[in-house]
Structures are given as C-alpha cells and as structure tokens.
A and B are shown apart, each in its own frame.
Chain A
C-alpha cells in the first residue's frame, strides 16, 4: 500500500491563508490504513484548522468529508455536490489523490495535507516500512522474495557491498542489509547456488528513469 504522513499543521495553516470555505477530503483506502488521511484523521485536521483559525482571529469555515478512493475518478466525481461553495480543497490522500481531485475540479485550488512517503507495509503498530520502488521489472523470483531495489540502500543487483556488517547496512545500524536478508532467505530455501548467477545491468527505463510511465491493457480499453 501507499504510505504517507501528515504535514505539520503549521505548514497547512499557511497554505490555507485567505480562504473562507475550505473542504478537507479524506481517502478511505491506503492512507486510512497508515493512519494519515482517513475519516478519523480528516476530523482531527479539520478540527485543528478550525481552532488555529479561531486563535488567529480569522473567520473561515472548514468542512470535512471522505471518499472510498481518491485515486479513481468515479469516486472523486461523487464529490461534485460536496465541493460546491468551497474556495479551497485540502486532500488527505496520497499524491495521486491530490492530482485526481485537481484534474476533476480544475476551477478549484487543491492542496496536499500529506507527504507521500513510500510503498510498503505496516511492520508493527505505528511503524511502516518500504518494500517496493515500482521499478517496473520485478526480480523477486531471483532473490527469494526479498527486493534488493527497495531493501538495499544502493539498490545493488549483485550484493552485498563491503558496507554490510553483521546483517546491518552501513548507512544505519537499524537498517537490515537487503542482501544479507536475500542470502538468509535463499539459504532457508536451499537455493544458495542461485547467488552465483551474476545479474545483468538493469534496464532502468522501466523505472522513473524512463520518464512518466503508463500501463495500457488494450483488451480492456473501450
């Protein structure tokens, strides 16, 4: 899932300056699971903004709503009546949600309440970790299900590097060495011999290096 965290409320207060009717829009999917932008967090943010505005002696209305998914136009379209009368929209969705709302309501300014951080999973209550960088060419079959692109700090394809010490990465002792994890996993699977195979240079054009990407399923296109 997409993991995000809320911007500092002081930053959001600055962004809403001069606006009179504000609508905070939540997203009930990924950002709800990572406790950053679901209905609950929208209520806290909207309340916080109302209080901040009152403390500053400003008169403005802050309303709140939430939709199932901000990244799908069909769900965002359902906001049509809710956005009426507002002069600013605040999205607590990920970067995709903010942009979908901006595309669907081009006459209204939309500001992000979150910083989108990573593609990952909840490791434990309150902690989310990165597991994928959407490189566009998955090699998890070769690495025992541990991604060297996201879990190795250098995204090495033939690791580990000399900075691996006792299973930890040289950049931070709290970070596991991705290639150590791969080694342990392949050992458990009795597939250590696959490490002898040198992986060729990766074609990074399927990742961000190739510019904005697009996926097309011709059979599904109307």
Chain B
C-alpha cells in the first residue's frame, strides 16, 4: 500500500528526546513522517493530547517514557503508563485500533533502540493503514 502514516511521538525530554537528538547527530535516519513532541516528563502527557493528535489526523501516536524507576520526577512514567492503558481502552470503544497507540520505555543513551523502535512502529502503523478517523462521510 502506498501510504505514509502521520505519526506523533511524545518524547520525554530526559530520555527519548535526547536519544532522538543523538540519533539525528549520528545521522542515523529515522522516518521523516515522525513528528516529535517534546514533553518535560512523560507524566505531563494527558489523555486529551493523544485524542487531539488523532483528531488532527495522526495515524499513530507513540509515547516514549523513561525506564521504570528512572523517572526524574519519580512516577511520571508510571502515570503515563496508566493514562496510556486508559486511552487504549477509550480508543477501542471509539472504534480506533488500540495498536495505533504505542508506549515505549527508553533511556537517553539508547538512541539506536530509539531508531529501531520508531522504524518498527512506523511499519506496524503502515500495515494498519490510514486512521479510520480519516474516513470520508
């Protein structure tokens, strides 16, 4: 299918955002259709941010948090995880595949893992096809 998904990646600035930065500096290309949104902590992410991304035309939303027990604000990643679970259930009820919302743990040093996760995630969203929200009435 000739389809380039629009993907929003919410990245904690203490881990994945830096990893993405290093990946960029190393010229390790990750797909250009990934729009990175910097968060001061994954715990800052709210349910409405994810829903708005889908409303604005995202085919997939990725959330990157620090590894368990590594959050600078102690529990931000735990809170993000709970919100992701809640939002996944909500998306399913709305009629959007929950696989379009992905949650990853990452440290700032794992820039190669970041590239890999983004590439694989991008591929899985491409396989899902365009978001059902984009259906013409």
Where the two chains meet, the residues of A that have a C-beta atom closer than 8 Å to any C-beta of B are 8-10, 40, 43-44, 47-48, 50-52, 54-59
Partner of B96, one of A40, A44, A55: A55
Q: A44 is contacted by which of B51, B93, B136, B137 (Cβ under 8 Å)? A: B51
- Residues of A contacting B137 in the complex (Cβ-Cβ under 8 angstroms): 54, 57-59
CA distance A90 to B137 in the complex (A): 23
Q: Within the assembled complex, what's the spacing in Å between the Cα atoms of A195 and B132?
A: 64
Give the docked Cα–Cα distance between A57 and B137 (Å). Answer: 4
> Does B54 sit at the interface, judged by CB under 8 A?
yes
Give the distance in Å from the alpha carbon of A51 to the alpha carbon of B137 in the complex.
12
Query: Given contacts A57-B137, A58-B137, are A44 and B95 in contact (CB under 8 A)?
Result: no
In the complex, number of A-B residue pairs with CB atoms less than 8 Å apart:
47
Contact B52 A54 (CB under 8 A): no
Task: Closest A residue to B54 by CB, please name it.
Answer: A51
Residue of A at shortest CB range from B82? Answer: A126
What CA separation (Å) do A180 and B104 show in the bound complex? Answer: 47
Q: Which residues of B (41-88) have their CB < 8 Å from a CB of A?
A: 46-48, 51-52, 54-55
Contacts of A50 in B (CB 8 A): 55
Residue A54 contacts which of B46, B47, B93, B133 (CB distance < 8 angstroms)? B133
Q: Helix, strand, loop or mixed for chain B's interface?
A: helix
Of B55, B93, B135, which is within 8 A of A10 by CB?
A: B93
Interface on chain A toward B: helix, strand, loop, or mixed SS?
A: helix
- Contact in complex: B136, A57 (CB < 8 Å): yes
16 additional contacts (CB under 8 A) given A9-B93, A51-B94, A55-B95 = A40-B46, A40-B48, A44-B47, A44-B51, A44-B90, A48-B94, A51-B54, A51-B96, A51-B133, A54-B132, A54-B135, A55-B94, A55-B132, A55-B135, A56-B95, A57-B135
CA distance A52 to B55 in the complex (A): 10
In the assembled complex, which residues on chain A have CB atoms less than 8 Å from the CB atom of B96? Answer: 51, 55
- Top 3 closest A-B pairs, CB basis? A55-B95, A47-B51, A52-B94
Q: Please tell me if the beta carbons of B90 and A9 are within 8 angstroms of each other in the complex.
A: yes
**A and B contact pairs by CB, cutoff 8 A, 19 listed:** A40-B46, A40-B48, A44-B47, A44-B51, A47-B48, A47-B51, A47-B55, A51-B51, A51-B54, A51-B55, A51-B94, A51-B95, A52-B95, A54-B137, A55-B95, A55-B135, A56-B95, A57-B136, A59-B137
